[in-house]
Amino acid sequence: MQNNQNGRRDFVKIGAGAIFFGALLGGGTYLAPKLNAQTPLLRPPGALDEKEFLSTCIKCGQCVQVCPYHSLSLLDMGSGNSIGTPHLDARNRACYLCDLFPCILACPSGSLNHDITEAHQVEMGIAVLKNPNKCLALMGKNVEYDDIKDILKHSNKNEREQKVLDDLESYVGKPCTICADLCPYPTKENAIAMVQDGTGKWYPEVRNECVGCGVCEELCPAKDEAAIVIIPRVKYKEIYS
């Protein structure tokens, strides 16, 4: 547990909290943090501070079972003292901020805070435009089927999941505004929006109500690593102040 706490402190101090670099692209400057390799895990909504989370989670897997988007999975043997605890891999399946948060309601130990009942209370992390050189909007390219074909293989076991994939496929042949349009936050324009830089190019601007759900990362059509990614366990001011 101490190693996890030290990793978080190092990450915030060395990475998001202090050192920023400008990624120059076509005359526009886009700020992103210099990420440290010791990035904390992305936990379900309502997760307590990592130390408390690890000490209270009973590894029952009930949150995993009730998630309608199949977003959660339990960490395996290679995860040290986090083994058996739930996390998200946003690139494979993000959190869609479900009504009533069934994962939280299913948690019997309180490691997922039952006081979290609305999306604006969630603090999973923050999105950053880490790879602006991969952003289709900045490159002025339309979305092609080949860009999203791998994402369309994500889980489609129910109507909710299928709707996500149908919505994504509707962008084929169109300019990419996927991250802003498909953000599940109730007032999405307060979490992320498409804006223009000084040269007239469009790009996603992360705003202060972003909760780090990861949908922007999952659905980003950039190849391999997404243009926009989630930094877990940090707040907006730690990244953008």
Which token pair is 1?
A: 């547990």
The arithmetic mean of pLDDT across residues 65-83, rounded, is 91
CA 206/CA 219 separation, integer angstroms: 15
More confidently predicted of 24 and 130:
130
3-state SS, one letter per residue, for 161-196: HHHHHHHHHCCECCECCHHHHCCCCCCHHHCEEEEE
Give strand pairing partners of 21: 32
State the average pLDDT over residues 50-71.
97
pLDDT given for residue 29 in this prediction: 43
- pLDDT > 50? residue 7: no
> Is residue 45 a contact partner of residue 103, using CB atoms and an 8 Å limit?
yes
Please say whether the beta carbons of 204 and 193 come within 8 A.
Answer: yes
> What's the distance, Cα to Cα, between the start and end of the chain in Å?
29
- Residues 137, 199 contacting (CB under 8 angstroms): no
Residue-wise pLDDT for 125-156, tens only, equals 999 999 999 999 999 999 999 999 999 999 99
pLDDT band at residue 27, thresholds of 50, 70 and 90?
very low
Q: State the Cα–Cα distance between residues 157 and 162, nearest whole angstrom.
A: 7
**Cβ atoms 197, 203 nearer than 8 A:** yes
- pLDDT at position 39: 67
User: Hey, which residues does 73 pair with through a beta bridge?
Assistant: 87
pLDDT given for residue 56 in this prediction = 97
% the chain with pLDDT above 70? 84
DSSP the chain: -HHHHHHHHHIIIIIITT-EEEEEETTEEEEEE---S-PPP-PPTTBPPHHHHHHH-----HHHHH-TT--EEE--GGGGGGTT-EEE-TTT------TT-HHHHH-SSSSB-TT--SGGG--SEEEE---GGG-HHHHT-BB-HHHHTTGGGS--SSHHHHHHHHHHHTTBTSB--HHHHS--STTGGGTEEEEE-TTS-EEEEE-TT-----HHHHH--SSSS-SSEEEET--HHHHH-
**Dist CA 227 CA 220 (whole Å):** 7
Lowest-confidence segment of 39-43, 115-119, 154-158, 190-194 by average pLDDT = 39-43
